Amino acid sequence: MTKKALAGVATFAAAAIALSGCTGGAADDDPSNTIDGEVAGDLTIITWRTDLVENGQFDEYIAAFEEQYPDVSVEVEAITDYAGEMQTRLTTDNYGDVIGIPASVQPDQFEQFLEPIGEKADFAETHRFLNGASYDGTQYGLAIGGNANGVLYNKRVFEEAGVTALPTTPEAFLAALQQVKDGTDAIPMYTNYKDGWPLGQSFGNLGGVTANPDAASEMAEDPAPWSEGKDMYAIDGLLYDAVAAGLTEEDPLTTNWEQSKVDLATGKIGAMTLGSWAISQFQDAAEANGASADDIGYMAFPSNVDGAQYSVIAGDYNLGISRHSESKAAAWAWIQWFIEESGFAENEAMISTMASAPLPENLAGLEEAGVQLMEMNPAPAGEEGLLNEVSSDSQVDLFGNIYRQELVDVARGAADGDKESFFADLNERWGASVERLAG
Amino acid sequence: MAIKDSTAVDVAVDRFHPEGRVQRPSGAARRRRILRRLTPYLFIAAAVALLVLLTYWPAANLLYFSVTDWDGLDQDLNYVGADNYVRVFTDPRIFEVFYVSLYYFGASFIQIGLALYFATILSFNTRFKNFFRGVLFFPYLINGVAIGFVFLYLFQPDGTLDTVLSWFGLADPPQWVGDPDIANWSLAGTSVWRYMGMNFVLFLGAIQSIPSDIYEAAELDGANKWQQFWAIILPGIRRILGLCFVLSIAGSLSVFEIPFIMTGGANGTSTFVIQTIQTAFTHRQVGIASAMAIVLLAIVLAVTFVQRKLFPDEKVDLT
C-alpha cells in the first residue's frame, strides 16, 4: 500500500519535472544549425490555415517540397485559434520550426522568438511586403502574399439600383448606398458588428485615402488623427455616416459572418469593407449558392486625391523561423520554396511576395478603374512598434472592433454622443497616449 | 482501521522504551514505521501538489504580473510598482462597467425568488414532482456557451421569441439585444434561466433536510401551507438563503460567459471580466489586466466579509 502511494508520488514528481523540462531545449548549442547549413532534418510547420490542411491542399505542398528536398521530413500542425494559442506557445521554446508571425509579437521582440534571415536591403529588390517583419534593418520573415484594401460589393445589386459609375468620394458612396436601399431589397452595407473583426478591416485603408505612404508612422505621433482631412476621419467617418443614415443592417447585434458571405453573394447585401483576400471566399459562396462568381466586385475605398484613387497593398501573415528550431536551414528552404515556387499566392489569388510576379486576376477590377496600388513606407528605425504601442496604451484598438462597435452604437443612437463628440474623445485618448509614450 | 490499531501498538511500545529502543530494533522495522507515519501525508501530497500547481502558483503569478508591465509575450518583465493599480482606480472607463453588474444583481433577486417558489411547491406532494424537478434543474447542466447561442437565436429579429409573441398579437417587438435599454435585461434574463436550477436544488435539499415530524406537528396544530412556509421552511433554510445571496453578489460582479458569447461586450453590455480579457489580449496589457483581476478578487472578498458581518451565521433552531 505505502509502496504504491510512494510510487504514485514519485511518478507525479517525475512527471512535473518532465513537464518543466520540456521548456529547456538545447537547440541553440549546435553551431552548424544556421539557415545556411545543411537542408535536412525534421520540420514542423504551424499554420492557421486549417482549411488547407483539412482539404489536403497542404499535403500536396509538402509532397512537392519533400520531392525537391528528400532529406527533409515535414509535418504540419494547424491551429484554429492561431493568434490566441500562439501567444501562449511562444512563451515556451516549443513552437515548431516555421510559424506565421502572430500580430501580438512586436517588432522589437522579433529577436526574442525568431531567427534573422538577413538584411532587409538584400531583399528589397526582389520581394514585396518586407515592412511587416523587419526591425532595425534586419529581416525576420517573409509575407506569404499580400492583399489590396477596399470595398467588396455585389455588381448585380449595384446595377439593379442604377449605380452606373463606381463612387470615388464618400458622399457619392453614401448616395450609391441610398440608391441600393431605395431601389432593391438588399441591405446596402453590412458591418458584421457581432463578429467584430470585419469592422477592423477598414483600417487597412490607412494611407490610401490621402495617398500618403507615411500615414501610419505619422499617425503614431499625431495627437489628433480623427480630424477632418485625415485618413482615420474618412475611414471611420464613412462607417459612422452609413450607420447614421440607416444604410446598414437593422439589428447589428445579431450579425453572422458566414451567413453574410452567402447574403452578399446572393444579392441580399450590397457592400462590405474588406481586404481583397475575401474575394475568393465570396466567389466560392456565390458558386455554392447558385449565384455567379462574376457578381462579386471589388473597388477602392471611395476617396480620391485630385481624381486619382489609391489602394493600399500590404502583406498577409509573415513566415518566420523559430529561434529554437533544430533544423533552421530546412525551415529557411521551406519559406523560400513556399513563397517562390509552391504556387500558394496564385492558388489563393493573393498578390505574390515576389516583385516579379504578376498581379492576381481578381484585382483586374481595380486596374480597369485606374486605381493605383501603393505600399506603405516603413516606420523610421526604432519606431516600428510605436503605432501598436499607442494603440494598446490608449485602448483604441485600431486593428480590432471594440471602439468601432462603440462608434456604430453612437451612430445608430444606441449610445450617447454624436460624430464630433465621439471623434473628439478618440483624439483625446489617442493624444494622451502619444504624449505619454513620447515623453 | 488496521493502520490505526498498529499505530497504537507502536506508541505503546515506545512508552516502555523511552530511549527509542524497540523490541525488534532492525532497520527494516523502523523504516516501515516511518513510512506508516508518512502514509497520510503521502496520500494528500498528490492533491496538495495539484492544488498548488493549478491554483496557488497561478494566483501567485497573477499577483506578480500585476506589478509589472508585461504584454503577455516579452521575455523581460519590468517592475512598475503600483502603477497598474493606480491606472485601474483612476481610469473611469474601468469602473463604469460595474453599473452593468446591477442588472444581474437585480435579476438575482428574481432568480432566488423563483427558485424558492418552485422548491417550496415541489417539496410538497405535487403531481409529477420529480419530472418538474428535472426540468427546472436541467438548464444548469447545459454548457454555458451552448446556452448563449440558443438564446442568441431566440432573441434574433423575427426569431423564436418574436414569433411566439406574435401569436399573442404582440406585433412590433423590440430588438432584444440590439436595443441598449433592453439588452442587459435580456442577458440577465438568460442568466436567470441558466442559474435558477442551481439555487433551486440548494433550496430543495435544505427544505428536505427539515424533519417531517415538524410538518406533521404543524398540521395537527392546524397550520396551513402558507403558515408552514413562513414558520418552518423559511427559518429552516435561512443559512442556505444567505449563502445564495453571497454567491449571487459575487456572481453578478464577475458575470462573463453569457454576455461574452452573446454580444462580446458590445452595446453597453461589457462586464468587468470581459473588460479584463480585452485589456489582456486585445490591448496586450497583461500587467493592468492582472491588477484588475486582483482588484475584483478584493472586491468580492470585501463584499462577502461585509455580508457575513451583517448576517452572521446563526444556528438554526426550529423547536
Confidence bin at B23 (pLDDT 50/70/90): low
The average confidence (pLDDT) of chain B is: 85
Say which of A109, A250, A409 has its CB closest to residue B157: A250
How confident is the model over B154-167, as a mean pLDDT?
Answer: 87
Per-residue H/E/C for B169-207: CCCCCCCCCCCHHHHHHHHHHHHHHHHHHHHHHHHHHHH
Mark yes or no for CB contact A112/B74 under 8 Å.
yes
**Mean pLDDT score, B174-179:** 86
Query: Is the pLDDT score of A171 beyond 60?
Result: yes
Q: Residue B204, CB half-sphere, CA atoms under 13 Å: how many?
A: 21
Mean pLDDT within A136-151: 93
pLDDT digits (tens, 9 = 90+) for B203-237: 999 998 888 888 889 989 988 888 888 888 888 88
Residue A19 has pLDDT above 60, yes or no: no
Q: How far is CA B180 from CA B194, B197, B262, in A?
A: 22, 28, 14
Lowest mean pLDDT among A301-310, A359-368, A422-431, B104-113: A359-368
- Amino acid type, A419: K
DSSP B301: H
DSSP code string of A1-17: -HHHHHHHHHHHHHHHH
Place B318 in a pLDDT band, splitting at 50, 70 and 90.
low
Q: Output DSSP code: residue A183.
A: H
A377/B50 Cα distance (integer angstroms): 52
Q: What is the pLDDT of residue A172?
A: 95
For each of the domains in chain B, give its residue range(s) and CATH number, in order of start.
Answer: 2-65 (no CATH), 88-310 (1.10.3720.10)
Beta bridge partners, A154, equal A296
- pLDDT above 60 for A14: no
ipTM: 0.78
DSSP assignment string, A217-260: HHHTT-S--SSTTSHHHHHHHHHHHHHHTT-B-S-GGG--HHHH
A397 shares contact with chain B (CB less than 8 Å)? yes
Q: Return the C-alpha cell found at A51.
A: 482549411
B156: left (phi over 0), alpha (psi -120 to 50) or beta: beta
CATH numbers and ranges of domains, chain A = 36-143+316-359 (3.40.190.10), 147-309+380-438 (3.40.190.10)
pLDDT number for residue A198: 92
B282 to chain A nearest CA, in Å? 7
Q: In this predicted model, which residue has the larger pLDDT, B271 or A2? A: B271
Is the pLDDT reported for residue B315 higher than 70?
A: no
The three-class DSSP label of residue A44 is strand
Secondary structure of A94-134 in the HEC alphabet?
A: CCCCEEECCCCCCHHHHHHHECCCEEHHHHCCCECCCHHHE
The answer to whether residue A90 neighbours chain B at the CB level (below 8 Å) is: yes
Q: State the DSSP string of A257-292.
A: HHHHHHHHHTTSEEEEEEETTHHHHHHHHHHHTTS-
Contact B42 A254 (CB under 8 A): no
Give the per-residue pLDDT at B13: 43
Q: What is the pLDDT of residue B24?
A: 54
In this predicted model, what pLDDT tens digit does every residue of A51-68 receive, in sequence order? 889 889 999 999 999 999
pLDDT tens digit sequence for A239-295: 999 999 999 998 888 888 889 999 999 999 999 999 998 998 899 899 999 889 899
Check residue A6 and give its pLDDT: 47
Q: Mind listing the pLDDT tens digit for each residue in B277-300?
A: 999 888 888 999 999 999 999 998
* Chain B contact residues (CB < 8 Å to A): 35-36, 38-39, 42-43, 45-46, 49, 53, 71-75, 93, 152, 155-157, 159, 175, 177-180, 183, 263-268, 278-279, 281-285
> Which has more confidence, A356 or B5?
A356
Per-residue model confidence (pLDDT) at position A362? 84
What would the pLDDT profile of A336-380 be if each residue is shown by its tens digit?
999 999 989 988 889 999 988 888 888 888 888 889 999 999 888
Q: Give the tens place of pLDDT for each residue, A87-108.
A: 889 988 899 999 999 988 988 8
Closest CA to A141 of A112, A109, A106, A98: A98
**What pLDDT score was predicted for residue B16?**
47
pLDDT band at A13 (very low <50, low <70, confident <90, very high): very low
* Span A208-221, average pLDDT: 92
